[in-house]
Structure 1
């Protein structure tokens, strides 16, 4: 686990490295507050360069050469304290049929 900390009111950057990252990928940020389920709060929709953020203090930068996505939080607050997750689309690879069989087998035992 990697933790980032900053003073309230300053900026903090959270970085996510993905070895197959390209600028045309779509990605989604989620955060999980203590005792709560993960919630969606930010996305980048591939080459369209469209952003959806629920809070204007959040911005992003795609560093394709570094295979890295940075999420910046300006004017960080104690209430931003959470576990942050990044998912790149597609998030599931491999044989979906095999995955389904395993899930079905597991649920019947």
Structure 2
């Protein structure tokens, strides 16, 4: 008897011309493998992130892909969680699904912060130092 998992996808739009497109809810069984699709449009070099948001929590950084660079957060080991940056897509593959994988998953282009001047200032300072901030770091600044 397998437990069914629900993975909901949400898009994070970053700039006026940039966007990501993700299909809706995906249902799979525990132990299965799953691919969550994400296509994108950008006017700059693509720098893609995947985040997982569990109920009553902020989005947690999973991994990022840029050109030939790959980085996974320790909690999301390469063997079970992976993504390949292709032409205009960066599908997330999850192997051997666990019940704890049920969540909302976000695919995001390199973030642009607007609205909060304190956060925007810190973001711009980090950009000058060539340091990328994750959505979690930006969230914690507000």
Select which of 31, 34, 38 maps to 1:12. 34
Q: Is the alpha carbon distance of 1:37 and 1:92 closer, same or farther for their aligned partners in structure 2, counting shifts above 3 Å?
A: same
In structure 2, stretches of 5+ residues that fail to align are 1-8, 10-23, 118-142
Instruction: Tell me the number of residue pairs that the alignment of Structure 1 and Structure 2 aligns.
Output: 92
Distance 1:30 1:78 in 2: 17
Distance 1:68 1:14 in 2: 11
Q: Is the 8 A contact 1:21 1:68 kept in 2?
A: no
SS, match of residue 56 in structure 2: coil
Q: Higher Cα Rg: structure 1 or 2? A: 1
Partner in structure 1 of residue 67 of structure 2: 47
Moved over 3 A (4+): none
Partner in structure 2 of residue 62 of structure 1: 85
Distance 1:68 1:47 in 2: 12
Q: Is the alpha carbon distance of 1:36 and 1:42 closer, same or farther for their aligned partners in structure 2, counting shifts above 3 Å?
A: same
Distance 1:48 1:21 in 2: 19
In structure 1, stretches of 5+ residues that fail to align are 102-109
Indicate the RMSD between aligned Cα atoms, in angstroms: 2.4
Q: Is the helix fraction higher in 1 or 2?
A: 1
TM-score normalised to structure 2 length: 0.55
SS, match of residue 32 in structure 2: coil
Q: Is the alpha carbon distance of 1:92 and 1:37 closer, same or farther for their aligned partners in structure 2, counting shifts above 3 Å?
A: same
Partner in structure 2 of residue 3 of structure 1: 25
